[in-house]
Amino acid sequence: MADPHRSARAQRLKPLKAALATYRPVLTAAVVFSLAINILLFVTPLYMMQIYDRVLSSRSEPTLVMISVIAVMAMVIYGLLEYVRSRMLVRVGMQFDEVLSGPLFDAAISTEINSPQGQSVQAVRDMDSLREFLTGGGLITLCDAPWAPLFIALGFFLHPLLGTVALVGAIVIFGLALLNEMMTRQHLRNAGDSANAAAQYVSTTLRNKEVIHAMGMRGAVRDRWLSQHRGVIGWQASASDRAGGLHTLTKFVRMALQTAILGAGAWLAIRQEISPGAMIAASMLMGRALQPVEQAVGQWKGFVAARDAYDRLSNLFLATPTKAETMALPTPKGAVSAEAAFVAPPGAPKATLRNVSFAVSPGEVLAIIGPSGSGKTTLLRALVGVWPTISGAIRIDGSALPHWDSEHLGKHLGYLPQDVELFAGTIAENIARFSDADPVKVVQAAELAGVHQLIQSLPQGYDTVMGPGGGTLSGGQRQRVGLARALYNMPAVVVLDEPNSNLDSSGEDALAGAIRAIKESGSTVIVSTHKRNLLANADKVLVLQDGGVQAFGPRDQVLQKFTGPRAVPSPKAQPQLTPAPTPGPAATPQSATA
């Protein structure tokens, strides 16, 4: 019987395994090419033997010409094989990137949502590191290393003593490589982890550059970064010191072995057990036999980096939930409901939103109110599928969110978060969500959001290119462009989280008009707010406090329960209301954390 855990692990690692599988046929070809290349490396020692043993003794010029022509032809073939092998590895590296890059990006996004610590940014660098290793000298060294015994065997063929010296030398250098691994592994890993943390700190710091400059924080922030940076340099220096010492020792051993093989060959030649040509050839064979081993020592840092990159990529894919195949559902109409939903932010030990139930019909506007920290943003993130429920369900048109294909459903959802982030690109591309932009729909969304005239006033209009985060726009302008993006193509459900937090009076009027227009089109609007003017457009009101529902129902009825007719509850109020009856099955906090 198949182990379900092993099966799930294999399924999650499938994209990485599929990318590595692209190397299998090329790797086989590379090994065959390496065999041919290493056989051709025998040409130089054999050529030297013929020069010393035949040409110099016979003084035959035709022999010299013929063996020289043969040697040159062999070297040309050697060069062509090296070139073809390198080209093959580069091309398969491009194929590896093509197979892995898409699933890796999806996995990085999913991991960042579920565990927003910025570690997934390293994933792209890890893919590049692994690809560079598999297309460069590291893989070539691995392909050449298995053929080192051929040169050692030829040394035994010339004389057992010469083969023994070569074999001992290879063992000693390989032992130094293992020692290098043991002495530098943890230092290199610590250096990599520290470098990732320092890079993440710099990225976060630069996003808050205005605060740093305005509040005189540059020195303190710089000192903290320097402390992290010095840690990286310290670990790297420690690893480099150890690796450098072992590399120097490896060079000394190789030179000593080269001298030993010449000395042994000369002693054997004096005793006439081998020819002078064999002595020179043995020295060259020793160099060829030890070269792959010494290259492996030099490439060890690359080996370690590629191994760590593979481990991080594997962990990234293992941490990404397997996306189950779902049946295509029809275009949503906009009915939204929650049934005893419990939601916890990523990494939180317990649910912060508990036993939330409500229902909204297509064409209705639901306003979510409550004090700061009551769970409004958590609920909205759960409604658009950013944070999953740990118990209960959130449904659109009666189907739970996991039953929908997220890409299909997302095209019919509009979402405006509190912190509006725009992407590098034109304003039109941002509004159209970087799909094939329909100019009519782009302008329609901008007009609904009240940002059309603002965009027209820019030098390039809708073709104005913005930096990452929309840095060329003010906070209010960025929020209105984000609203236009949420309204693009008139989605069935529009979710707005504090959409007027940065708006002036004209912006708030445009927002109210947009909500009315969306409602009239039959779409559902769910908006969280602290301001009373948006409540005028609401059909229903949901009051949250401490992660639970305090009241839910028609707007006037709920507001009257708070402080009387025509009153809007203050965001700082702490009402003590009996929770309103909520639809759906009851649940307990214990069931949420089970």
pLDDT digit string (tens) for the chain, length 594 residues: 445 566 667 777 778 888 888 878 887 888 888 888 888 887 888 888 888 777 877 888 888 888 899 989 999 998 898 888 888 888 888 888 888 888 888 888 877 776 655 556 677 788 888 888 888 777 787 777 777 787 788 888 888 888 888 888 888 877 877 787 777 777 777 777 777 777 777 766 766 666 776 777 777 877 877 887 787 788 777 777 777 777 778 778 878 887 888 888 888 888 888 888 788 878 777 777 777 777 776 677 777 788 888 888 888 888 776 666 677 788 889 899 999 999 988 777 788 899 999 999 999 999 999 888 888 989 999 999 888 888 899 999 999 988 888 888 888 999 999 888 888 888 898 889 888 878 899 999 998 888 898 889 888 888 888 766 666 777 788 888 889 999 998 899 999 998 888 777 777 888 888 888 888 889 999 999 877 778 888 999 999 988 899 989 998 888 887 655 444 444 334 333 333 433 443 333 333 332
Residue 48: CATH number of its domain: 1.20.1560.10
Residue with tokens 């969280």: 528
SS3 content of the chain, % helix, strand, coil (to 5): 65, 10, 25
Using a 10 angstrom Cβ sphere, with 0-12 exposed, 13-18 middle and 19 or more buried, the burial of residue 237 is: middle
Interstrand relation of 540-545 and 365-369 (parallel, antiparallel or unpaired): parallel
How many whole angstroms separate alpha carbon 559 and alpha carbon 562?
5
Region of 184 on the Ramachandran plot (φ > 0 left; ψ -120 to 50 alpha; else beta): alpha
How many whole angstroms separate alpha carbon 303 and alpha carbon 296?
9
Listed in sequence order, the residues at least 6 apart from 253 whose beta carbon sits closer than 8 Å to its beta carbon are 169, 172, 173, 176
CA distances from 71 to 51, 57, 64, 76 (A): 12, 20, 10, 9
Distance of CA 70 to the CA centre of its chain: 51
Domain count, the chain: 1
Using a 10 angstrom Cβ sphere, with 0-12 exposed, 13-18 middle and 19 or more buried, the burial of residue 423 is: middle
Largest alpha-carbon pair distance within the chain? 120
Domain-located, residue 370: no
Tokens of 43: 């040409």
Tokens of 463: 């073709």
How many whole angstroms separate alpha carbon 183 and alpha carbon 405?
49
Domain-located, residue 307: yes
Residue 189, pLDDT score: 73
Radius of gyration of the chain (CA): 35
Domain-located, residue 248: yes
Phi, psi of 10 (to 5 degrees): -65, -35
385 closest CA partner among 323, 446, 325: 323
Residue 585, pLDDT score: 39
DSSP letter assigned to residue 423: -
Domain-located, residue 340: no
Domain-located, residue 452: no
Residue with tokens 């070139």: 83
How many whole angstroms separate alpha carbon 433 and alpha carbon 374?
31
Tokens of 408: 């299909």
Domain-located, residue 31: yes
Other beta carbons within 10 angstroms of residue 493's beta carbon come to: 25
pTM above 0.85, yes or no: no
542 closest CA partner among 586, 495, 589, 482: 495
Residue with tokens 């709920």: 558
Distance of CA 494 to the CA centre of its chain: 30
How many whole angstroms separate alpha carbon 519 and alpha carbon 445?
14
Residue pair 370/552 in contact by the 8 Å Cβ criterion: no
Q: Where are the beta strands (DSSP E) in 166-311?
A: none
Domain-located, residue 398: no
Listed in sequence order, the residues at least 6 apart from 196 whose beta carbon sits closer than 8 Å to its beta carbon are 119, 122
Tokens of 59: 């003084």
Other beta carbons within 10 angstroms of residue 295's beta carbon come to: 17
Domain-located, residue 47: yes
Domain span at 114: 7-318
Residue pair 575/545 in contact by the 8 Å Cβ criterion: yes
Interstrand relation of 493-497 and 465-466 (parallel, antiparallel or unpaired): unpaired
